[in-house]
A and B are shown apart, each in its own frame.
Chain A
Amino acid sequence: MRLRIIVFFLIGLLIFILDVAFSSEQDSKDIYISDQELTSLLSAWQSQVGRPPNDEEIVNIINNFVQEEILYREALLLNLDEEDRIIKRRLAQKITFLKQETVPEDPSQEELKEFFEQNKGNYYVPETYSFSHHYYSKESSAKEIATKAFKDYQINGGELKGDPFFLGKNFYQNTANEIKKNFGELFFSSIKNLPVNEWSGPHESTFGYHIILLKEVKAGFSPPLEKVLIKVQQDYLSEAQDKAIAKYINEIRSQYRVVINPDYKF
């Protein structure tokens, strides 16, 4: 019984030694060029030059391929591929593209709808303000003049009379960003809290003082999906691609352990 085990063990050892001694080196010196490879080499040449190659050119194409393959294998034997950042990045890029392509081409209506609901903020149409203002230029003692003019107006009625403002008097449906661009942050922070249809002031800006009538605040709104469908589709796809890569990396990552010298001085 024990003898039989030893015999099997010895036979196994013999096969292993024979295999190591004779086989391994040999087949790696063959360069096998498949039919598909040949076809793709030749058609690449044709698409670049515009006609099929002649016999001499075919010989050259194959020689170039063989030469490249030989150099590549010799480089592998010398382990030149290890620790080469360009090769690493190229391979990482390839697998990234591969994983990106696993995203389904056309998302379903439900998927789009769900995505849209989750990211409604990105498609929000911001609120707008319509207002008129009387402007008192900083050149004069603007604040006192503006205050007095506004008091007179409140007591006696009549018309307010200020200086002309560079961008005009009436502003229709301006967004917060537009108001900040035209008047500055300070002005916007006062206008956004004003009551509607009531003159008030003076409010300061970089340019002087303003008495403001806020006429209308049009609330911001989320447009229905149909109105922004194409943008939603684009955004969905690009997010799906990012997600696919992140998911893939996360799945694999747990199998890796990262070791960094804790004493390294950064």
Chain B
Amino acid sequence: MVGKMKLSKSSIGLIIVSFIFYLYATNSFSIFQRDSALEIVDFSIENSSVDTDIPSNPYRNPYYGDLHVHTKYSFDAYIFGVTATPYDAYRFATGEVIKHPLGFDMKLKEPLDFYAVTDHGFYMGMIENYADTSSKMSKNEWTKPIHNINRPENVTVESTGERADLFSSVLSREIINKPYPWWHPNYLGAWLTNNIQLALTSFDYDVHKSAWADVAKAAEEFNDPGNFTTFIGYEYTTSTEVEGGNLHRNVIFNSSNAPIRPWTRIDSLNPEDLWTWMDNLRGKGVDSLAMPHNSNGSNGQMFEVETFRGNPINKEYSEKRMRNEPVVEMTQVKGTSDTHPLLSPDDEWADFEIMDKRVGSRPPTYSMPQGGYVRDAFLRGLTLEWEGRGNPYKFGLIGSSDTHTGAGAFDENNYWSKVGVLDGTDMGRGSVPLSQDRIDQLTQYSIDFNQPLSTKEIEGKTYADVGFDQWGASGLAVAWAEENTRDSIFQAFKRKETFATTGTRIAVRFFAGFDMESIDLNSEDMIKNAYAKGVTMGADLFSQANQTPQFLVWAQRDKLGAPLQRVQIIKGWVETASGTPKEKIYDVACSDGLVADPVTNRCPDNGARVNINDCSISNDVGAGELKTTWADPDFDPAVKAFYYVRVLENPTCRWSTWDALKAGVKPRPDLHETIQERAWSSPIWYIPDSSDLEIIPL
């Protein structure tokens, strides 16, 4: 036998491996692979509506809304006893009454203009499915602790410990994230459709898809152009791999078209991958934006000076981030992230609703303020840009609630916090001393679940100590838009023509230009002229022959809230010589005809006081509206800077004081008795004239 070649086993293996490598190298796998997260579904429903023309205002109206709302489809909300649907949530936003899990009514003082249900994307709808003992999933042994958890007789404050523990065990992956063995066919399915979730035994794709479709359907059903706007959306609930740095973001879509499933932390923990996905969707005609929140509880990770993988930030990263994340949610129930007393020691209003714990940490762990607050982030952005790496932190500002009951609690006097059964009572929130049986429950909880002591003694009384005392009745997102339609409001977010409030309906206009002082503040054409002669919040003001910029501010009070006390402009810049970030706060308008001191830049006391015994406020002081023009007295034409407005109301009782008043006890002495509700505009950035400056349109 001559010339008969015989291939050995090892050479056949080598040929197969080379062939696979060739396919991989030439990217030929994409023929087999299909990205399920890029499948677009048209969720639109045929909405019959009566033809009325939608009025449009070229000078724009302020529309108030909430873009951060959880319902029963969120893994944690269901554990917190919430059974409200997305439909219930939208009903609440339009002014109807819905029920809190503990049985009381929740109703808005005034309906909202827009609302978006944003349930956690990962495991959306799954926990409800585990709890339903007729489902396939519930046959798994590990779902047992969740079975029928929200049966009516278990939705009580007594179930708090059980629920808190379930919440942690879901987060720590004891309950979910159980993969099939490697040889299982679902592994191939997961790979072929680029959908890792399919390889998890704890996951049922059909349940997940139908929950997401229901969220989308509710949004479509309630979207009513001209009257009420909704967005299809969800929360991308990611975090750093170590130390639990919260990197949560909400994603909303500007269309009835949306992907077949939300792209979640199971796909990737890296927010840059989220932006890639959003860029890809944009290529398919589906526009979206992402809004980070609770930077305060991120342990400084939200506004880091390096990327998720620890690489230095570069221009490409900055552009990609700003293309996808034009606005940041800077105030919500879990605290306000304007600035921290340690970061802004000269800001007398910095100590406002500070939540200094990492989000979801148990036991509660301190969150580093540096890199966690928006003013600091604006400064970091300037520094990065000064180093030639682009500005990834040039975002506008909004607030929202992050409620997990479907219903946002914006009112100090009518507050239910946000995590259902856990903080639905005054005792649970830590504002009123605990009864003996609640003390016993919390003690037992600490023993059962190996937790630190969950009560604290203050002046001889025992209070719950689980962190809810640092939460607050906040906030709202406000968009300056031509009309109340989905596209008009979405475009306002993209322009950053937005402001944030702590739940109050303050309204604020803010313009900058070089000829603002010539505008007659008493003329009907004031706003028309301001738009013509300058730029508004969220925009860049380019240097004009080194002239000093002039600003125009106009704030109006909430007609159902307290009168205004003062309007401030907060300036931040980086000193050119040293690269040191600086900030300064100017009171630019004072109520009651008062004038700010030219040395301290502070308004004198207007005399507004709160009577702690009944929470009544002084009625004869404060302003209905404040308006002024202002030129920066410390202006340096060569230095890049940002300016944003903070409007302060007269002081009013904090929710914890209202709780104590209603319970007939003394307010807890270590909490702020009063707060000043406020609004913040998006900044205007001053860009100096510079030959080597490269302008990146964002």
Contacts and interface: CB of A to CB of B under 8 A. Distances in A.
B61 A172 contact: no
Interface string B133-176: 11010000000000010010100000000000000000000000
Interface in B507-552: 507, 509, 521-524, 526-527
Interface residues of A, number: 35
Given A50-B186, A227-B50, A229-B48, A208 B624 contact: yes
A86 interface: yes
Nearest to B593: A139
A181 B110 contact: yes
A89 B133 CA distance: 12
Contacts of B557: 206-207
B379 to A, nearest CB: 31
Contact of B556 (A49, A173, A207, A223): A207
B624 A137 contact: yes
A86 B48 contact: no
B47 interface: yes
A168 B531 CA distance: 14
B52 interface: yes
Interface stretch (A6-14, A20-28, A159-167, A189-197): A159-167
Contacts of A4: none
A249 B463 CA distance: 47
Contacts of B593: 139
A138 B111 CA distance: 26
Nearest to B505: A181
Q: DSSP majority for the B interface?
A: loop
Contacts of B624: 137-139, 206-208
A164 B52 contact: no
Contacts of A229: 48
B50 A228 contact: yes
A44 B148 CA distance: 23
Contacts of B48: 227-231
Interface in A224-249: 227-231
Interface string B652-671: 00000000000000000000
A137 B556 CA distance: 11
A90 B134 contact: yes
Interface in A135-183: 137-139, 163-164, 166-169, 172-173, 177, 181, 183
Contacts of B559: 183-184, 205-207
Contacts, number: 75
Nearest to A183: B559
A17 to B, nearest CB: 43
B623 A139 contact: yes
A14 B186 CA distance: 64
A181 B509 CA distance: 18
Nearest to A222: B50
Contacts of A223: 50
B366 interface: no
Contacts of B50: 125, 223, 227-228
Given A50-B185, A50-B186, A166 B554 contact: yes
Contacts of A181: 110-111
Contacts of B52: 125, 173
Nearest to B180: A49
A229 B49 CA distance: 9
A169 B189 contact: no
B111 A177 contact: yes
A173 B55 contact: yes
Q: Which interface residue of A50, A139, A163, A164 has the most chain B CB atoms within 10 A?
A: A164
Contacts of B527: 164, 168
B556 A85 contact: no
A50 to B, nearest CB: 6
B267 interface: no
A206 B561 CA distance: 10
Given A50-B186, A137-B624, A167-B61, A230 B524 contact: no
Contacts of B625: 137-139, 166, 207
Given A206-B557, A207-B625, A227-B48, A164 B523 contact: yes
Contacts of B348: none
B46 interface: yes
Interface in A36-80: 44, 48-51
B450 interface: no
B57 interface: yes
A164 B524 contact: yes
Contacts of A138: 623-625
A86 B134 CA distance: 12
B61 to A, nearest CB: 7
Contact of A166 (B151, B507, B560): B507
B22 interface: no
Nearest to A178: B227
A230 B48 CA distance: 6
A225 to B, nearest CB: 10
Given A50-B185, A50-B189, A164 B148 contact: no
Given A86-B133, A125-B50, A51 B185 contact: yes
A207 B527 CA distance: 18
A121 B110 CA distance: 22
15 contacts: A44-B136, A48-B136, A85-B153, A125-B50, A125-B52, A137-B624, A137-B625, A164-B524, A164-B526, A206-B557, A206-B624, A207-B557, A207-B625, A228-B48, A230-B47
Given A206-B560, A230-B48, 11 more contacts: A85-B151, A90-B134, A138-B624, A139-B625, A164-B522, A164-B524, A164-B526, A166-B507, A173-B55, A184-B559, A227-B50
8 smallest beta-carbon distances between A and B, as pairs: A206-B559, A166-B556, A138-B624, A230-B48, A184-B559, A207-B624, A223-B50, A164-B526
